[in-house]
Amino acid sequence: MAGSGVVTVYGNGAITETTKQSPFSVKVGLAQMLRGGVIMDVVTPEQARVAEEAGACAVMALERVPADIRAQGGVARMSDPQLIKEIKQAVTIPVMAKARIGHFVEAQILEAIGIDYVDESEVLTLADDENHINKHNFRIPFVCGCRNLGEALRRIREGAAMIRTKGEAGTGNIIEAVRHVRSVMGDIRVLRNMDDDEVFTFAKKLQAPYDLVMQTKQLGRLPVVHFAAGGVATPADAALMMQLGCDGVFVGSGVFKSGDPARRARAIVQAVTHYSDPEVLAEVSCGLGEAMVGINLNDDKVEREGFWYYKDYVLACQICSSLGVYIVHMHVSLVSESGNTTDDFKLPTDENLLNRIKNGFEEGKDLVVCAMGEEQICALKDIGPKN
């Protein structure tokens, strides 16, 4: 779009935004200052100092990094405010912290401590499986995750001032983050070339507000700062995300779960600045020590012992329930992205669990099932609302 670059967001009537106290421009302003930078997960003040020394532009204060949350299970909640306060006192760079999706009181508490950003995070256990926090009610800005363009725009309409990919946190595996970025960028590329008249239907398909879809089309990019997150473990990963079009990178377990955190942190910071300069990338990738081990979701061995995260599992369930087919043959068919199916998962014999799975299909939920080496489903977990 030619012109001065001034774009007003219209359709604000229904949103109660206290514009004088917390203008959206100030919320996004901080995100714009974080562009080209690396935001690192830290669990102690010492780690925060290491991150600041290495050149992180902000830190994310947590009690447990995503890799540990995955390993330990249970319910993951907002961290102890005392810990967050200690981390805030240890550094001069912005401090972020996570709140559960939909848990607006955790967000109120984080705002009261005076940190700089709240991450409404799917890494923590869901507090509300249908609604996210109404971020317009807060003075503190929010960053939210997304898997595709529709989700990103819905979060922005709710008031998110910064967007990141969801990725596969805690695995050290970049594939999901790449998938999500390609999905967002791909849809934006389609949108840019689309006839204006077709945007109405495209907005319906994306399940996103029309005005934001149109704004995205005019800008040629997401209307807010877009970071990569989830599985970044090496400088090459960070540079990959930057070249794919992200404005910056979150690194979680990737730094402090590696062999030499300070060195790796510095290398990733340099990689994000010099993302299109392979000579610098080669130089900083040398001699970094061990990367975080990570989890390969396609690894046979891992599948049997851990949680399945087949993206299209939901699709298979939806197809079943929409066709009115009840899963009576004690078999669950899992369809992966590449179209492979695996039919060797039996439904549980336990009544309770069986009913939960059937109800889950009917409601169209995202379910993760656990099959502990038995090839029979023995547990399931709700991984998020269908948005």
Partner 1 sequence: MAIGVLALQGSFNEHIAALKRVGVKGEQIRKPEQLQNVSGLIIPGGESTTMAKLAEYHNLFPALREFVKMGKPVWGTCAGLIFLADKAIGQKTGGQELIGGLNCTVHRNFFGSQIQSFEAEISVPEIVAKEGGPPSFRGVFIRAPGILEVGPEVQVLAEVPVPSDKAAKSDPAVENVEENAASEQKVIVAVKQGNLLATAFHPELTADTRWHSYFLKMLSETNQEASSSTSLSSENLSFCEPPKYDLPIFQQ
Catalytic residues: 98
Q: Minimum distance from CB of 114 to partner 1 (Å)?
A: 6
Q: Is 212 in the site for partner 1 (CB under 8 A)?
A: no
How many Å apart are CA 325 and CA 316, to the nearest integer?
11
65-69-72 Cα angle (round to 5): 135
> Which residues have a Cβ under 8 Å from the Cβ of 279 and sit 6 or more positions away?
none
Residue 176's alpha-carbon distances to 73, 117, 122, 173, in angstroms, are 21, 24, 14, 7
Kindly tell me which residue out of 11, 73, 114, 289 binds partner 1, with binding defined by CB under 8 A. 114
Instruction: Please select the residue that binds partner 1; options are 47, 79, 173, 215, rule is CB under 8 A.
Output: 215
Q: Is 278 helix (H, G, I), strand (E, B) or coil?
A: helix
DSSP-assigned letter for residue 74: S
Instruction: Kindly tell me which residue out of 15, 18, 25, 372 binds partner 1, with binding defined by CB under 8 A.
Output: 25
**Which residues are CB-neighbours of 253 under 8 A, at least 6 positions away?**
41, 65, 66, 67, 68, 169, 170, 172, 233, 292
Site track 338-377 with partner 1 (rule: CB under 8 A), x = hit: ----------------------------------------
- Determine, following the binding rule CB under 8 A, whether residue 317 of this chain makes contact with partner 1: no
φ and ψ of 382, to 5 deg: -85, 120
* Contact criterion met (CB below 8 Å) for 135 and 159: yes
Residues 74-93 that bind partner 1 (CB under 8 A): 88, 91-93
Q: Which of 40, 42, 43, 54 binds partner 1 (CB under 8 A)?
A: 54
CB of 283 to partner 1, least distance (A): 10
Q: How far apart are the first and last CA of the chain?
A: 30
Regarding 58 and contact with partner 1 (CB under 8 A), the answer is yes
d(CA 337, CA 359): 24
Site for partner 1 in 241-270 (CB under 8 A): 243, 245, 266, 269-270
Told to check if 190 binds partner 1 by CB under 8 A, we report: no
In whole angstroms, the minimum distance from the beta carbon of 158 to partner 1 comes to: 16
> Quick one: 49 or 356, whose CB is closer to partner 1?
49
* Rounded Cα–Cα distance for residues 136 and 159 (Å): 5
Cβ(252)–Cβ(65) under 8 Å?
A: yes
Binding string to partner 1 for residues 123 to 162, with x set by CB under 8 A, is what?
----------------xxx---------------------
With CB under 8 A as the rule, give the number of residues binding partner 1. Answer: 60
* Alpha-carbon gap, residue 32 to 269, rounded angstroms: 17
Q: Which is nearer to partner 1, 235 or 294 (CB)?
A: 235
Q: Which residues contact 39 (CB under 8 A, 6 or more apart)?
A: 56, 57, 58, 59, 60, 96, 227, 248, 249, 250, 251
> Which stretch in 108-116, 301-309, 318-326, 346-354 sits in contact with partner 1 by CB under 8 A?
108-116
- Candidates 18, 19, 349, 359: give the one binding partner 1 (CB under 8 A): 19
Residue 24 binding partner 1, by CB under 8 A:
yes
Q: Which residues bind partner 1 (CB under 8 A)?
A: 4-8, 19, 23-26, 28-30, 32-37, 49, 52-58, 88, 91-95, 111, 114-117, 139-141, 215, 219-221, 223-225, 243, 245, 266, 269-270, 272-274, 276-279
